[in-house]
């Protein structure tokens, strides 16, 4: 049994402030931003990309 459709997935979604699990495109958008000139002022930072889940 996998994650999708499981009770664990339902619990994860319920505990996530945005109400859904992350998708590859969520991470890809951050990666593209960090690789772009728009992030040129960011240096030596640690970022958590988690949809608000702590």
Q: Is residue 1 part of a domain?
A: no
- Cα-trace Rg, the chain: 14
**Domains identified in the chain, total number:** 1
Residue percentage of the chain with pLDDT more than 70: 98
**Residue that is written with structure tokens 């109400």 in the block:** 19
Confirm whether 33 is domain-assigned: yes
pLDDT digits (tens, 9 = 90+) for 23-36: 999 999 999 999 99
Is 29 among the domain residues?
A: yes
Domain range for 21 is 7-39
Strand stretches in the chain, DSSP E: none
pTM: 0.68
Would you say residue 48 lies in a domain? no
Does a structural domain hold residue 46?
A: no
């Amino acid at each position: 049994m996998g994650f999708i459709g499981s009770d664990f997935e339902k619990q994860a979604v319920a505990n996530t402030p945005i109400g859904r699990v992350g998708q590859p495109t969520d991470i890809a958008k951050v990666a593209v931003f960090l690789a772009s000139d728009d992030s040129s002022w960011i240096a030596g930072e640690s970022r958590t990309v988690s949809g608000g889940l702590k």
